[in-house]
Structures are given as structure tokens and as C-alpha cells.
Structure 1
Amino acid sequence: MFASLVSITSLMLSTMLMMVGYGLMNYLVPVRSVAEGWSSFLISVIATGYTVGFTVSCIVTPKLVLRVGHVRVFGALITLLTASILASSLLVDWHAWIAFRAISGFAVAGCYLVIESWLNERVTNETRGSVFSIYMMVTLAGSIGGQYLVPLGDPLNTTLFIVCGIVFAVAILPTALSTAQSPAPIAQVQFGLGKLYRRSPVAAVGAVLAGILSGTWASLGGVYTTQSGFTTGQGATLLAFVLAGGALGQIPIGRISDLTDRRYVMIACGVIGVVAACAMFFMSPDTPRLLYGTAFIVGSMLYPIYALNVAHANDRADPSEYVTISSSLMVLYGLGTVAGPLIGGGAMELAGPRGLMLYLSIGFAIYAAYAAWRVMKGNPTVAPDERTDFHAIAVPMRGTDPAGSIAVDYETDYDPAQSE
């Protein structure tokens, strides 16, 4: 275990710094957008640029890594992140911000893919769970820490944008200067959406709904807090509680789903999500403790449901299909993250900031209802000894599987001299 951690120390440090910049960027951009007087729907269009870039990167980045290696691609992606946030401070125009957010989405997704494929090669089956738990805590701490930088500055000037750019730029240093051996190149795998749906319709539909829910909150959560009258400190705290719920909620949800039909757990998560989101609809900043607690519950349902879809699909797949199945789930999740903010922004335009919570409650209800319908159709339950293990996914949710079933696979004939 200790040897595994030593070999990835520089990578974890780079990840921490990147996530600090990510947390700052993802809260700063919507707060500044609201301050510019842009409508909720217009802000959701800007957010869609991010999700489109994110989804495209999941397909393109493996090809780039195969050509030039992990370290060079990671450096290039961090450069894009730095340029995109600095450009946003120079040109405050929503047309340009769509492009800038697309660039940042492309870069963030690529960084996640590089980091997680790198981690997967450095760990063993015995240390995988522990290492990825540490990785989850690193991403959580970095993202929350970045959000709390926003109250320290003024989103209306360029200072916070420059700070974010500096943090991103520094994030490349630990990995670039590390003497650790670069990982093996990765190769693209085939997507099989039809195969996925035949194996597990509830996982396929659930992946789209998980993308809609998590993508909407990630894109518009900052808009919700700002338009609802929260201070930047209160908004950062509420967003932090949602993230913390997403990280900690995966532990009990995962253990329960390993013991019973995962569709029952999906139904329960959907129902609890409906109740919690509806409760937040009626709350205000005047009751912060109650609101933060409810936000924690929303997050504990919001983020783990994608991991439930991955586990359920793998339960019904052959081991040789795991990578293809999970890659297909990632594509469907990405499509959900593209559509979700647009519809959510429209809901906020019609019903005000609380319309976001109403929208989330409807999404949770559909998620639960579809899982219940699949149960009622009489599909057999997978026997306990045939189920795969549930694997927690580091928040913020992206749509990769830390167990190794990401959208890439490793080459078998690896020569370290060819990787860099």
C-alpha cells in the first residue's frame, strides 16, 4: 500500500491543485454570469458548452494519449484550462464564453481520464479500493477548497480569474518534474449502445438521467445559490455539502446494492431524491443549517446513482464486455449532461431559481419510476454471487469507473521508451 502511494504522490498533488482550480472556476463562472445580468437560460447555454467539450474529450483524448503519452497530454490539457479561464476574464461576452467553457470541459475530462488511467496502472487489485478512496478525498477537498476562494475576492474583477489560472498552471509542475515512470499507452475501445441496452435497459436509461441530474446541478448550482440570495460564502458551503454528500453517500449505497437487487436501491435513491429536492424548493437562506443538511441528502442521491448504473450493467455483462459497457454508459451520461442544463435553465427561467429544485425532483422521480417499471416487467434478479462489486466514483461526477472500466484499455506490448 505504501509503495503504491509513493509512486503516485506527484500525481495526487497535481490532482489536488487541478481540483482547487476546478472548484474555483465552476463557482466563479456562474456567479460572474449572474452579475453580468445574463438570464438563467443563457447561462445554461454557456454551461452546455462545457458539457459538450467534456463529452467530446472522452472520445478524443485516448487517441491523443496513444500518440504522445500521458505526461505531454496532461500538460497540454492544463495549458488549455489555464488559457480558457484567463481568456474569460479578458473577454466577458456570452458568445465567447460558450467557446471558453467548451475548451475547459474538454480539458477537464481529458485530465480526469489521464489521471484515472494512470492510477489504474499503478495500483494492484489489493490496493485499488484504498487508493481510489484517497483519490476521492483529494478531489473532494480540492474542489471544496476552490469554491471557498470565491468569497475572498470580487467576481466582478479579474483577480479571481487570474488566481484560478495560476493554480491551474502550477498543477502541471508535480507531474512534469516527477521521476516516476510514465504509464503504458491506452487504446480506444468500441462503444456498444445497443449491447448495453440489451444487457441492462435500466442502466442505459439511468445513465442518461444521472447525466441530466448531475450535469444540471454542476452547471447551475452556483446560479441557484446566487439568484436565491445566498452570500458567496453561504453558496460555497451549500455546494460543499452537496459534494460531501455525493462522496460519503456512495459508501452505504454501494454496500446495500451489493446485497440486494440494485434496482430496488435505484428506486429508493430516486424517492429520497424527490423528497429532499422538494424540501429544498421550500427552503431559503434564512434556515442555513436545515438547508445544508438537506443539500447533503440531495448530493448523496445525486452522484452515486451513476455508479449504481455501472454496477448493475456489469452484473449482467460478461467480464470481456466491461470496458465496452462502461464506455457506452459514459457516452449516455455525457449526452445527459448536455441536455440537462438546457432544460434546467429553462425551468429556472420560468419558475425562478427554485425551479432548479423542482426540475431535479422530476428527474429523480423519473429515475425511480423507470427502475420500478423494469422490476415490474419481471426481469430476473442477479444472484448475489454473480454480482460485481460496487465501485465508488470520485466526485464531482464525470462518468468514469475507477475500477478500470473507463473508456480506454491498456496495450499489452508496452515499451516504456516509446511512451515519452
Structure 2
Amino acid sequence: MIQSIRSVAALLTSTFFLLTAMGLSGYLIPVRAVEEGWSTFTISLIATGYAIAFTASCVITPRLVLRVGHVRVFGALTTVMAMSYLLHSLIVHPAAWVLTRALAGFSIAGAYMIIESWLNERVSNENRGALFSVYMVVTMTAVMVGQYIVPFGDPTGPVLFMICALVCSMAVMPTALSSAQSPQPLTQVKFDIPKLYRNSPAAVIGTLLAGLIASAWGGLGPVYATQLGLSTTEGASMLAIAMIGGAIFQYPLGRASDRMDRRKVMIFAGFIGIFACMATVLLGVDNRILFFACMLCLGTVLFPIYSLNVAHANDHAHADEFVEVSSGLMLTYGCATMLGPLITGAAMDWFGPRALFVTIALCFAIYSAHAAWRISRREQPSAEMRSDFLPMAALPDLTPQTAELDPRSDPAWGTDEEEAEEEVAAGS
């Protein structure tokens, strides 16, 4: 195991720096925008610019890599990303920030895809599951470290943006100086949303709602914290506690969904989300202990519902379709992240900061109601057809390359050794 980690240490280091910069900028930019006195809807436009560019990069970056190669594209993207952070401090204007945030979204998605593709080339089916777990720990830790850098600086000054650019630039070095051979070209995204919907309506609608929820939370959660008077340390803790809740409770939710109809677990998750959101609306932030308890409760379902959707969609697909199904769901999720901040930002402008949790609660209610309706329309798949649940990183940003890293991308994953040998013998 240690030898396997050592073989990808440079790539994991690049991942750590890249996502530290992402975590820092993701918290810093909304806080600075609030300090500038911009409306919540204006801030939501900045988040939407990021989401549109991030999703577009998942389609465009593989073509760039085909033309000039991984190392050059990775170097160019990280450079553009660092430039975008510096431009935020040089030109403080909403219209400029929509564009510079879009540059960051495009760059980080592409760089993320290249690193994940590189990692995928360096792992085998024997150690894929263990390395995938290590990769998830690294990504979550990096994002939280980035968020906790904000309290050590002044969001209204240029220094934190400079630090963000420096950390981002550090991501280039481990990969650029690595002697590892460049991986194969990035997977061209293949998806058929109508087919996905026909196979699993609950997964597609659930993924849309998961995207709305995660993007509203990620884009406007820091705005809520700042407007209600939380310090930057408390705001970072709010985001981190929700992420920790998602990481801890993915496994029990997943195990429950492996043993019963997943849509029943979706219903349960929806009720937990509604309860956590409405408790936050009623209790507010005056009692910090109760507030953070609500954030932990919300986190238990905020991110895991996406993993539930993936598992449910793969219950209705063949084993060799995992990457295609997951890529389609990720693009569906990406499209939803373009709308989440806009809807929630408008609601917060009209009704105040607490509208963030009212909007998220409504999404959870629809998520739960739709899953309940689908139970009445379709039987659950047989035990032989069901795939296993696997936790995914509690992050709002995903790329199709993440699906290739997932152990379930191996059609033989989940079969025991004797079954795998029988399948090989039958094939020969």
C-alpha cells in the first residue's frame, strides 16, 4: 500500500496544492464580495460564471490535450488559474469577477481532469479502491486547509489572493518535474441524457437537485455566514463541519441503500435535509453549538445524495457502462450548478440570508417526494442487478475523470476471485 502511494505521491501533492487554492478562493471570493456591498444575486452571478466554465472545460479540455499534450495543457491551465486569482485583487468589479471566476472554473476543471487521468494510469485494479480512498482524503483535507487560511488574512486586501495564486502555482512543480510517463488522452465525454432518464428517472432528477443544493451551498454559504455576522473562522468551520458530516455518514447511508430500495434511503435523506435546514432557519446562529450541530446534520446528506444517485443509476445499467453513466450524471450535475446560485441568490435578496436554507429545504422536499413517487411507478431491481454503493469525495466539483478513478469503473469490481476467473475463462 505504501509503495502504491509513493508511486503517485507527486500527483497527490499537485492535487493537494490545487484544491487548497480552490478551497481558499471558494471561501475568500464570496466573503470579499459581501464586504464590497454587492447584492447576493450579483454574487450568485459570479458563482454561475464559475459553474458554466467548469462544466464547459469537461468537454473542451480533452480536445486541448489531444493537440498539445498533458504537461503543456496542465501548465497553461494552472498559470491561467493563478492569473485569475491575481486579477480578482487588481480589478474589483462584479462584471470583471464573473469573467475572472469563469477563468478559474475552466482552468481548475481541466487541471483536475488531467491529474485524475494521470492517477488513473498509475493505479491497478488491485489497489484502485485503496488509492481512491486516499485520493478522497487528500482532496477533502486540501479544501478544508484552504478555507482555514482565510481567517489568517484580511479578505478586503490583496494578500490572500496572492497566497491563493502562489499555492496554485506550486501545483505545477510536482507534476512538471515528475519523470512519470504522460497518460493516454483524456476520455471524451459520452453521454445520453434521454437514455439515462429512461433507465433511471430518480437518479437523473435526484442529480439535478443535488447540483442545485451543492451549488447553492458552496456559492452562497459563505455569504450567509458573513451576512449573519459569523467570523471568518466560524464561516470556515461551518463549511468544514458540513463536509466532515458528509464524509462520516456516506458509509452508513450507503450500506443501508445496499440492503433496501435505494429510493427509500433517498426519501430518508430528504427528510434529514429538510429537518436540518428548517432547524437552522428557526434557531439562527446565536447559539453556535446548536448552529454547528445543524450544519453537521445537514452535511450528512448534503453531499452523499449524489453518491446515492450514482449507485441507483448503476443499478439499472450494465457493469461496463459505469463510466458513461457517471459522466452523464456529472454533466447533468454541472448544468444544475449553473442554476442553483441564481435561484438561491434571488431568494436571498428578496427574503434575506435565511432564504438559503429555505431554498435548500425545498430542493430536499422535491428530492424526497420524487423518490417516493418513483417507488409507486417501478419495482426495485433484483439483487443480481444492483451495484454496490461507494462513497465519493464530499466536494461540489466533479469531472468525468473522477468516474474512471472509481473502482466501479472496472466491470469485474465487486465479483470475487473465482467469479472473475470464470468470466475470463468464458471469454477466452
Output the TM-score relative to the length of structure 2.
0.91
Per the alignment, residue 415 of structure 2 pairs with none
In 2, the alpha carbon distance for the partners of 1:242 and 1:77 equals: 30
User: Residues of 2 paired with 1:122 and 1:293: CA distance?
Assistant: 40
Secondary structure of residue in 2 paired with 1:282 = helix
Equivalent position of 2:317 in the other structure:
317
Check the 8 A contact 2:258/2:389 in 1, yes or no: yes
Contact 2:250 2:300 in 1 (8 A): yes
| 1:335 to partner: Cα distance | 1.1
Partners of 1:64 and 1:393 in 2: how far apart?
A: 27
1:22 matched to which residue of 2?
Answer: 22
The C-alpha deviation readout for 1:163-183, integer Å capped at 9, x for no partner, is 111111111111111122222
Distance 1:389 1:237 in 2: 32
How far apart, CA to CA, are the structure 1 residues paired with 2:278 and 2:358? 6
Paired position in structure 2 for 1:47: 47
Q: Aligned partners of 1:380, 1:119: CA distance in 2, in Å?
A: 38
Change (3 A) 1:162 1:265: same
Which residue is equivalent to 1:161?
161
SS of match in other structure, 1:249:
helix
Supply the distance in 1 between the matched residues of 2:331 and 2:244 (Cα, whole angstroms).
25
Which runs of structure 2 are paired with 1:134-149 in the superposition (5 Å)?
A: 134-149=134-149
Equivalence for 1:177: 177
Q: For the Cα contact (< 8 Å) 1:54–1:102, is it kept in 2?
A: yes
Q: CA deviation at 1:61?
A: 1.4
- The letter for the 2-side match of 1:388 is S
Compute the displacement of 1:154 (Å): 0.8
The runs of 4+ residues in structure 1 deviating greater than 6 Å are none
1:266–1:308 CA contact under 8 A, matched in 2: yes
Residues 260 and 384 in structure 1, CA contact (< 8 A), matched pair in contact too: no
Q: Which residue of 2 aligns with 1:384?
A: 383
Q: Is residue 323–residue 405 contact of structure 1 (8 Å, CA) maintained in 2?
A: no
Match of 1:381, SS state, is coil
The corresponding residue for 1:78 is 78
For 2:229 and 2:327, the matched residues in 1 are separated by 40
1:393 and 1:71 map into 2 onto residues whose CA distance is 27
d(CA) in 2 for partners of 1:133, 1:296 = 21
1:299 maps to 299
- Which residue in 1 is equivalent to 2:7? 7
- CA deviation profile, 1:49-97 (whole Å, cap 9, x unmatched): 0111111011111222233333222222211110111001000000000
> How far apart, CA to CA, are the structure 1 residues paired with 2:146 and 2:187?
33
Q: Which runs of 5+ in 1 are unaligned?
A: 411-420
What residue in structure 2 maps to residue 394 of structure 1?
393
Partner Cα separation in structure 1 for residue 354 and residue 338 of structure 2? 21
The alpha carbon displacement at 1:392 in A equals: 1.9
Cα deviation for residue 160 of structure 1 reads 0.7
Contact 1:306 1:399 in 2 (8 A): no
1:93 aligned residue:
93
Structure 2 unaligned blocks of 5 or more: 411-428
Contact 1:391 1:403 in 2 (8 A): no
Q: Distance in 2 between matches of 1:265 and 1:69?
A: 43
> Which deviates the most, 35-44 or 312-321?
312-321
Once the two structures are TM-superposed, the CA of residue 156 in structure 1 deviates from its matched residue by 0.9
- What do residues 320-372 of structure 1 show as CA deviations (whole Å, max 9, x unaligned)? 43222222211211111001100000111112111101111001111111011
**Contact map agreement 1:49 1:102 (CA 8 A) in 2:** yes
1:185-334 alignment to 2 at 5 Å? 185-334=185-334
Q: Deviations over 1:360-399 (max 9, x none)?
A: 100111111101100011x121122321222222231324
| Secondary structure in 2 matching 1:183 | coil
Distance 2:253 2:403 in 1: 17
Percent of aligned positions that are identical:
49
Measured in 2, the distance between the counterparts of 1:91 and 1:214 equals: 28
Aligned residues: 407
For the 8 Å contact 2:59–2:189, the answer to whether it is kept is: no
Partner of 2:60: 60
RMSD after superposition: 1.7
C-alpha deviation, 1:117, in angstroms: 2.2
Deviation at 1:21, TM superposition (A): 1.0
Asked if the contact 1:89/1:161 (under 8 Å) is kept, the reply is yes
Look up the equivalent residue of 2:253 and give its one-letter code. Answer: I
Deviations 1:171-212 (A, max 9, x none): 111111112222222231432011101110111111111110
Deviations 1:227-280 (A, max 9, x none): 011011111111111111222222222222222221111111111111011111
CA distance in 1, matches of 2:184, 2:53: 25
Query: SS state of the match for residue 379, structure 2?
Result: coil
What residue identity is the alignment partner of 1:84? S
1:130 is aligned with what amino acid?
A
Between stretches 3-12 and 223-232, larger displacement belongs to 3-12
The CA distance in 1 between the partners of 2:376 and 2:113, in whole Å, is 37
1:93-140 CA-partner distances (Å, limit 9, x unpaired)? 000000011111111222222222222222222322211111111111
- Partner of residue 414, structure 1: none
Q: Is the CA contact (8 Å cut-off) linking 1:44 and 1:345 kept in structure 2?
A: yes
Partners of 1:7 and 1:180 within 8 A in 2: no
**8 Å contact kept, 2:120–2:405:** no
**Structure 2 counterpart of 1:18, which letter?**
L
Aligned equivalents of 1:119, 1:388: Cα separation in 2: 24
Q: Classify the secondary structure of the residue corresponding to 1:285.
A: coil
- Tell me if the contact between 2:14 and 2:174 (Cα under 8 Å) persists in the aligned partners: yes
Does the 8 Å CA contact 1:136/1:247 hold for their aligned counterparts? no
* CA distance in 2: counterparts of 1:51 and 1:403, whole angstroms: 19
Q: Which residue of 1 aligns with 2:348?
A: 348
Q: For structure 1, which segment, 45-54 or 172-181, has the greater mean C-alpha deviation from structure 2 after superposition?
A: 172-181
| CA distance in structure 2 between the aligned counterparts of 1:47 and 1:339, rounded to whole angstroms | 10
Deviation at 1:405, TM superposition (A): 7.5
Aligned partner of residue 187 in structure 1, secondary structure: coil
Distance 1:66 1:367 in 2: 39
- Code of the aligned partner of 1:262: R
